[in-house]
């Protein structure tokens, strides 16, 4: 289940988008102001962000600029009624990945979301083959042949992070942030999750004193 940060202060539109996205299997966290959105990025990890431009505290443009300057690379789509070239240019200038003008078709939004999530995995396809396993990006599901491997929610988050950054060393702190877990005791739980995923067939290296790496198949 991919997690979405939706930043929208229009009550009717935000409720509608939350409902529609949740029906499609997304986990949605709603923020109605710039400060709420910033706080959400500190507390949770996301696969995609959807920003309105005209929001309280500061604009969506300013919000994304702050996040990008802090190293946040999560794909972001602006959903806005602003349709002038200057606004479009400003959106991409601060780091937007896509720009959708209101009113928009929800099915089109879904297509754009799925495309950006695949792009974040450096894949043009929805599936990644890994040895005898198959990982489906947009549904965050792992298969052994045709059999779905049942994973706990935290294990699913971990799998998504490992496949998104396959071949890279990921620090324990980064992984714990992805799991929304910052307690020191959570490192023990992280080791348990890693052990289970290794038994499933993922070749996860321990990088001593740093973190873990999913070895490329």
Contact 175, 132 (CB under 8 A): no
pLDDT of residue 181: 58
- Whole-number Å distance between alpha carbons of 125 and 137: 8
Whether the predicted pLDDT of 183 surpasses 60:
no
Confidence category of residue 83, pLDDT binned at 50, 70, 90: confident
Whether the predicted pLDDT of 184 surpasses 70:
no
**What percent of the chain stands above pLDDT 90?**
72
Report the C-alpha dihedral over residues 123, 127, 155, 146, rounded to 10 degrees: -170
Confidence category of residue 182, pLDDT binned at 50, 70, 90: low
3-class SS at 173?
A: helix
Confidence category of residue 207, pLDDT binned at 50, 70, 90: very high
Token pair, residue 64, equals 């994304």
What does the DSSP assignment read for 105-132?
-HHHHHHHHHHHHHHHTT-SSSEEEETT
Distances (CA, A) of 186 to 43, 163, 174: 15, 21, 13
Confidence category of residue 201, pLDDT binned at 50, 70, 90: very high
Whether the predicted pLDDT of 79 surpasses 90:
yes
Neighbour-count burial of 72, counting CB atoms closer than 10 A to its CB (0-12 exposed, 13-18 middle, 19+ buried): middle
Round the average pLDDT of the chain to a whole number and report it: 91
């Amino acid at each position: 289940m991919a997690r979405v940060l939706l930043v929208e202060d229009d009550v009717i539109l935000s409720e509608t988008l939350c409902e529609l996205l949740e029906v499609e299997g997304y986990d949605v966290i709603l923020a109605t102001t710039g400060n709420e959105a910033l706080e959400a990025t500190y507390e949770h990890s996301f696969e995609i962000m959807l920003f309105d431009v005209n929001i309280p505290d500061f604009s969506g443009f300013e919000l994304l600029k702050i996040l990008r300057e802090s190293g946040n690379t999560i794909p972001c789509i602006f959903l806005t009624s602003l349709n002038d070239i200057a606004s479009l240019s400003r959106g991409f200038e601060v780091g937007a990945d896509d720009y959708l003008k209101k009113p928009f078709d929800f099915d089109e939004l879904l297509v754009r979301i799925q495309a950006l999530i695949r792009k974040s995995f450096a894949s043009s396809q929805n599936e990644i083959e890994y040895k005898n396993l198959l990982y489906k990006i947009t549904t965050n599901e792992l298969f052994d042949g045709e059999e779905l491997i049942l994973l706990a929610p935290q294990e699913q988050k971990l799998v998504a992070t490992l496949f998104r950054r396959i071949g890279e060393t990921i620090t324990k702190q980064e992984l714990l942030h992805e799991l929304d877990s910052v307690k020191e005791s959570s490192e023990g739980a992280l080791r348990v999750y890693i052990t289970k995923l290794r038994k499933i067939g993922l070749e996860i290296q321990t990088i001593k004193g740093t973190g873990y790496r999913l070895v490329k198949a």
